Amino acid sequence: MVKNSKKILKLKKKIKEIRYNFLKLISKGVKYHIGGSLSVLDIIVCLIYSNKIDLTKTSKIRNKLILSKGHALGIFYTILMDLNLLSEKEYFSQIKNNKFGGQLDTYNCKYVDWSTGSLGHSIGVSIGMAIANPKKKIITIVGDAEIDEGSVWEGLFFISEKKIKNVHIIIDRNKLSASSFIEKKEVLDKKVLNQLNLNIFRGNGHNLINIFKYLKIIDKSKSSLAIFNTIKGNGIPEFENSLQYSHGQPDKRLITQVLKNLQN
């Protein structure tokens, strides 16, 4: 349990700021996947602002973050701007020149550890990074639709069989793919996961105490798999559990109203 309630309150405030600033980018015409970005926002903020992924350190020193669900990159860029690691001017310049893509297919950002977007590859990449960097934690965030890819499970069983100790996989379990509801996931049952030589964690991806419990597991000398139940579009009633805003963009009237509501 996290004892420092001030730290939790500070992070909750930061999450609200990042949510607002992310949606502000949407209001300026930048197109992102809103639902899947907001479902994982709390987890990414906790990882970065707790310094589990310390972006102020060089890539050679710090732990690695692979955002396999690259459609949530808008949250990552919003955080970079909040940390003054990326200026708003530079951000929009890169957007204009097609240097910052829509799936973290990024060509000019030193804070991105791996360009993602093609599903199923990230865990294999994280294994390679883990072997090359045994003293670093390699943290990979995947969506629950992505785990249908066979390569994900090949990677998980490889980590287990070879006893690789520094790969940590987070599943954003928002129960919605880009186009449909995915309530059932038998592969996430205990009978399957208990076969893996991994620390298995289940929690609420919007509960900061739950998230911090998992961050402590990351510190242990064994790889882990976390399944965090989340809400697609979390924090914005108009976007929550909505297929429309999985890909779709709100019109100017709606996004203006949403931003106004967040300020109240």
How much is the average pLDDT of 5-31?
A: 94
Does the structure show a pLDDT above 70 at 1?
no
With a pLDDT cut of 90, the percent of the chain lying above it is 69
Q: Please answer whether residues 19 and 262 qualify as being in contact, where contact means their C-beta atoms are separated by less than 8 angstroms.
A: yes
Does the structure show a pLDDT above 50 at 182?
yes
Which pLDDT belongs to residue 212? 94
- Number of Cβ within 10 Å of residue 20's Cβ equals 15
User: Which residues, including other chains, have CB under 8 Å from residue 50's CB and lie 6 or more apart?
Assistant: 11, 212, 215
**Rounded distance between C-alpha atoms, residue 99 and residue 81, angstroms:** 16
Pick among 3.10.690.10, 3.40.50.970, 3.40.190.290, 3.90.1200.10: CATH of 5-263: 3.40.50.970
Residues in the chain: 264
pTM value is 0.94
- Number of Cβ within 10 Å of residue 21's Cβ equals 17
Q: Element (H or E) spanning 172, and its range?
A: strand 167-173
- Number of Cβ within 10 Å of residue 95's Cβ equals 18
Per-residue pLDDT reduced to its tens digit, 105-118: 666 688 989 888 77
The domain ranges of the chain are 5-263
Query: What does pLDDT average to over the chain?
Result: 91
User: Which residues, including other chains, have CB under 8 Å from residue 143's CB and lie 6 or more apart?
Assistant: 36, 68, 69, 171, 172, 174, 177
User: Which residues, including other chains, have CB under 8 Å from residue 74's CB and lie 6 or more apart?
Assistant: 22, 25, 26, 30, 32, 33, 37
Per-residue pLDDT reduced to its tens digit, 74-95: 999 999 999 999 999 999 998 8
